[in-house]
Amino acid sequence: MNDPREGDAVVRAPKGGAGAAAVRNASEGEGAQALYAARKKIYPRTVHGRFDRWRWVLVWATQIVFYGLPWLTWNGRQAVLFDLAARKFYIFGFVFWPQDFIYLTALLIISALALFLFTAVGGRLWCGYACPQTVYTEIFMWIERKIEGGRAQRMLLDEAPVSARKVAVKGAKHAAWIAVSLWTGFTFVGYFTPITELLGAVAALATGPWETFWILFYGFATYGNAGWMREQVCKYMCPYARFQSAMFDRDTLIITYDAGRGEPRGPRSRKAVRAEIPLGDCVNCGLCVDVCPTGIDIREGLQYECIGCAACIDACDEVMGKFGYPRGLIRYSTENALAHGWDARKMVRRVLRARTLVYGAILFAVCAALAGALALRVPLKVDIVRDRASLAREVEGGRIENVYRIQVMNTQERAHRYRIGASGLPGIAVASDAQIEVPAATTRQVPLRIQIDPGTTAKGSHRIEVEVQSLDDAGVVAREQSVFLVR
C-alpha cells in the first residue's frame, strides 16, 4: 500500500490477521463463544481506490441531504417536517394528516419493493455505500484515523499501557465522535420539531425534556453503532442482512473472488514471470482480509457477513497492479458470470429476468397508483357525526330538524371559504351557517343543523348527502353521506 500514514512495514497479525480470527470465531455459530463480549476488535486497514472514492461521494451526498434537508424552507415553513406534536407531515408542497396514512402505506410498500428489486439486481450496493451504518462508520473511522493514526498506530496505542498521551488521544477521539453524534441527534429531532426553534432552544439550553431525551438517545445510538458496534450491527442486528439471501439469485451482483484465476495462491517474487510459476494470481498477501471491515476472507466465497463495501477489490487491484497482473481478481460479478465466464455485456443482459421484471412491474403499478392518487387528491376532508343528544325535532313552521357536527379539514396551505349544502330529501336545507371559513392547514368543527319540509317524508331514517364546496376553487369539493331521522 502506498499510504504514507501506514507505510509498508505494517504490524500485521500472523496470516489472516485479527479479522480472520474473528470470522472463524463467528462461523462457529451458536456455540459457546461470547460473540459480543469476546469479539476480536477489527482494525480495518485504510484502502484507497475507485470504490473507496465512490463511497466518499455517497457519504457526502447522503449526509448533505440528511443534515441539510431540515433547514430548507418552503411556503415560509420547514420544507420537510414530520410535526408529530401537531399531527401533520409537511413534505414540500404536501401536507399529510393522519387520515392520509394510506399514502404513507403506499410509500412503505414502494420502499420495500424498490429494495427487493434493487437487491436482486445490485446485491448489497446499499450496504456498501449508502446505509447509515456504513456511512457513519466511515465518518467515525476517518476521525479515528486523523486522531489516532493508521492501523499499526491504532493497534500499538490500544496495546500500550495507560499514559497521559493515550488518555489525551483517546479523549480527543471520543470528544469528536460525541460532537458528531450530538449534531446527528439534533438533526434527527429537527425532522420532527421545527429545527430553527429547536436550535434556539438548544442554544438557550431550554429544550423540552423529551426533545433533550431524543437528541441524546439518537446521538448515543449513533456513537454506539458507528464508534463501537460497527460491523456487529451488520452481522447480528440488521434485518436486511439476514433476509438478503431471499432476494439474491445467481445473477445478483456480488463481490467475488475468481478462484479459477487466483488458485493455487502463494507468495512469489515480483520479478517472477507469470506464465512460468505454478501458481495462480493470488499472491496471498492477506490485504483483502486486512481491509475488510467485517473481518472476513472473501476468498472463502460469498458470506452473509460481506457488506459489499468493495474495499477488498480496491486492495487487491492495487496488488495486482504492483505485480503487473490485470486487476479484477476480486471484482463485482455474479455467480453465473463467474461460473460461465461471461463478459460484462452478458452479465448486464441478465439484469432483465423473471424476478426483476415481476418486481419492476409491481413497483411501477404501485408508483403509478400513488402518483395518480396524489394528483387527484382533493385538499379537503369532511366528517359528519350526528349529535347523539338530540334526535329529530320540530322547529318553527313545522319543519323537521336534525343536528350534526361537521368537521371540515382544509389540508391546503391557504385559507378557504366553503359553502355547505345538503341534498337527498324534499325541501332539504342547511339552517345553520351555510358558509364556513377555514384557515390554512387547519380543521374546524361546527354544529350543523339540517331541516326538511314537514309531511313529505315517511318516518324512519333516510340517507342524505352533505356537500362542502370551496367558494374560490371549483375543484375543491367533498361529499359525505349521513342519516336524517324523521319521527
> Using CB under 6 A as the criterion, which residues of the chain lie in contact with ligand SF4 when the complex forms?
255, 262, 265, 282-288, 291-294, 296, 298-299, 306-312, 315-316, 319, 329-330
How many residues are given for the chain? 487
Q: How far is CA 158 from the centre of its chain?
A: 34
Contact predicate 291/314, CB 8 Å: yes
Q: Alpha-carbon distance 36 to 414, whole Å?
A: 55
Among residues 100 and 251, whose Cβ is nearest to another protein? 100
Among residues 221 and 429, whose Cβ is nearest to another protein? 221
Report the partner that residue 310 touches, choosing among ligand SF4, another protein, none (CB closer than 5 to 8 A by kind): ligand SF4
3-state class (DSSP) for residue 401: strand
CB of 101 to another protein, least distance (A): 5
CB of 251 to another protein, least distance (A): 30
Report the partner that residue 316 touches, choosing among ligand SF4, another protein, none (CB closer than 5 to 8 A by kind): ligand SF4
The window from 24-32, 69-77, 126-134, 325-333 that contacts another protein (CB under 8 A) reads 24-32
Among residues 20 and 283, whose Cβ is nearest to ligand SF4? 283
Does position 243 interact with another protein (CB under 8 A)? The reply is: no
Cell numbers placing 319: 496488488
CB of 321 to ligand SF4, least distance (A): 11
Report the partner that residue 34 touches, choosing among another protein, ligand SF4, none (CB closer than 5 to 8 A by kind): another protein
Query: What angle, 0 to 180 degrees and rounded to 10, lies between the N-to-C axes of helices 101-122 and 239-247?
Result: 60
CB of 238 to another protein, least distance (A): 10
Among 35, 80, 115, 201, binds another protein (CB under 8 A): 35
Q: What pairing do the DSSP bridges indicate for beta strands 77-78 and 73-74?
A: antiparallel
Q: Alpha-carbon distance 314 to 2, whole Å?
A: 12
CB of 156 to ligand SF4, least distance (A): 23
- Among 66, 113, 60, smallest CA distance to 369 is for 113
SS3 content of the chain, % helix, strand, coil (to 5): 50, 20, 35
CB of 289 to ligand SF4, least distance (A): 7
Q: Which residues pair with 393 in a beta bridge?
A: 401
- Among 423, 413, 404, 408, smallest CA distance to 477 is for 408
Does position 32 interact with another protein (CB under 8 A)? The reply is: yes
Residues 258-297 that bind another protein (CB under 8 A): none
Does position 112 interact with another protein (CB under 8 A)? The reply is: no
3-state class (DSSP) for residue 125: helix
Residues 207-236 that bind another protein (CB under 8 A): 208-211, 213-214, 236
The window from 83-91, 162-170, 399-407, 446-454 that contacts another protein (CB under 8 A) reads 83-91
One-character DSSP codes across 211-274: HHHHHHHHHHHHIIIIIIITHHIIIII-HHHHHHHHH--TTS-EEEE-HHHHPSP----TTS-G
Report the partner that residue 208 touches, choosing among another protein, ligand SF4, none (CB closer than 5 to 8 A by kind): another protein
CB of 308 to ligand SF4, least distance (A): 5
Does position 376 interact with another protein (CB under 8 A)? The reply is: no
Report the partner that residue 283 touches, choosing among another protein, ligand SF4, none (CB closer than 5 to 8 A by kind): ligand SF4
CB of 305 to ligand SF4, least distance (A): 7
Query: What angle, 0 to 180 degrees and rounded to 10, lies between the N-to-C axes of helices 132-148 and 50-68?
Result: 110
- Among 11, 57, 15, 5, smallest CA distance to 284 is for 15
Contact predicate 415/440, CB 8 Å: yes
Does position 29 interact with another protein (CB under 8 A)? The reply is: no
Q: How far is CA 117 from the centre of its chain?
A: 16
Residues 433-472 that bind another protein (CB under 8 A): none
> Which residue ranges make up the site for another protein (CB under 8 A)?
30-38, 84-85, 87, 98, 101, 104, 193, 208-211, 213-214, 236-237, 239
